[in-house]
């Protein structure tokens, strides 16, 4: 099965400006939410503020990672700095998990000791927060489609928007019915969504950092394609990994028949072309072997 990987990237400078604006907006909102939450006595509003602050931090981390990732390869970092974005995403998702667990603990304490809450202040500030969350999400949405790093920051904002909706609903119920327990209940809903979001996305980031193959690419299909090239007798010691979110690399030992040795360069070129056309693998390193000097006790993937 063919796998095409085509990405349309926004101008880096324009993307940086969007992220910087989103950072400033989120920092301002965080301060407003914290002050409002303290005056209103609302844990849900403070919870939303903490999550919003994590959005601002995630955007700062994402911004820094974008800058680092654009550095060219050098003698110390021969593959370049592209994985800086995967590292940033891992930091952001880990932070989300910690925040989610903390909010669950705080909400559980509120169930045992409900506090008085100013419903009107909650609704007003959460309404402003929702507007800011939607603006921030709009600024980062297009970039999130092509960057695991920006996607982590974008998902922070999506969770924030939903959290703001939950806070507004809680504030209205407190105003209408004086249901104080709805405040910690809304906090639990926010925390639950944060954790679900983080755990569903962090696996892909870890896969990149652990040198895993692309999730949409079967290693056995790649091996079969190599072996189907004319002149190839066998392929082993195959390593297939994601250099970053968009670039896949491969290295392998290719066994060719003795009589095909003079055509080794042509066979190598044919394999590289097929890998590029079928799986969009642009970086491949192939070691050609003849039966007499081929590796012994081989395995298809990795080294023994």
User: Which pLDDT tens digit goes with each residue over 184-234?
Assistant: 888 888 888 889 888 988 999 999 999 999 998 999 999 999 999 999 999
pLDDT at 162: 76
Average pLDDT, the chain: 83
In the chain, where the domains are located: 12-209, 219-293
Find residue 287's DSSP bridge partners: 253
More confident residue, 42 or 117: 42
pLDDT at 4: 45
Read off the tokens for 246.
Answer: 């968009």
- Spatial separation of the C-alpha atoms in residues 45 and 35, rounded to whole Å: 10
DSSP 95-140: HHHHHHHHHHHHHHHHHHS-----HHHHHHHHHHHHHHHHHHHHHH
- Fold match flag (12-209 vs 219-293): no
User: pTM for the complete prediction?
Assistant: 0.77
> Radius of gyration (Cα) for the chain, nearest Å?
26
User: Which pLDDT tens digit goes with each residue over 146-174?
Assistant: 788 888 888 777 777 777 777 788 778 87
Q: What percent of the chain has pLDDT over 90?
A: 30
Is domain 12-209 in CATH 3.40.50.1110, yes or no? Answer: no
Place of tokens 């939607």: 134
Residue 115 · residue 180 · CB < 8 Å: yes
The count of other CB atoms within 10 Å of the CB of residue 186 is: 29
CATH homologous superfamily for the domain 219-293: Cation efflux protein, cytoplasmic domain (3.30.70.1350)
């Amino acid at each position: 099965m063919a796998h095409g990987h085509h990405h349309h990237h926004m101008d880096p400078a324009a993307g940086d400006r969007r992220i910087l604006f989103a950072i400033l907006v989120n920092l301002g909102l965080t301060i407003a939410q914290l002050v409002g939450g303290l005056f209103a006595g609302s844990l849900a509003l403070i919870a939303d503020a903490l999550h919003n602050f994590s959005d601002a931090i995630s955007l700062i981390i994402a911004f820094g990672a974008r800058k680092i990732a654009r550095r060219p390869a050098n003698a110390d970092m021969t593959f370049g700095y592209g994985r800086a974005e995967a590292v940033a995403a891992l930091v952001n998702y880990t932070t989300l998990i910690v925040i989610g667990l903390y909010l669950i603990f705080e909400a559980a304490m509120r169930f045992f000791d409900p506090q008085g809450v100013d419903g009107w202040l909650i609704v007003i500030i959460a309404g402003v927060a929702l507007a800011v969350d939607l603006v921030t999400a709009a600024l980062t949405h297009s970039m999130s489609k092509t960057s695991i790093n920006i996607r982590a920051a974008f998902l922070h904002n999506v969770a924030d928007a939903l959290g703001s909706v939950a806070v507004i609903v809680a504030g209205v119920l407190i105003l209408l019915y004086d249901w104080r327990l709805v405040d910690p209940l809304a906090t639990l809903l926010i925390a639950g969504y944060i954790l679900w979001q983080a755990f569903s996305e962090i696996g892909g980031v870890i896969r990149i950092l652990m040198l895993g193959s692309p999730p949409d690419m079967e290693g056995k299909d790649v091996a079969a394609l190599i072996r189907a090239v004319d002149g190839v007798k066998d392929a082993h010691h195959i390593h297939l990994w994601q250099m970053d979110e968009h670039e896949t690399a491969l290295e392998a030992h290719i066994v060719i028949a003795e009589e095909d040795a003079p055509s080794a360069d042509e066979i190598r070129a044919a394999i590289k072309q097929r890998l590029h056309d079928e799986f969009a693998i642009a970086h491949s390193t192939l070691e050609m072997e003849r039966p007499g000097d081929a590796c012994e006790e081989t395995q298809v993937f990795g080294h023994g």
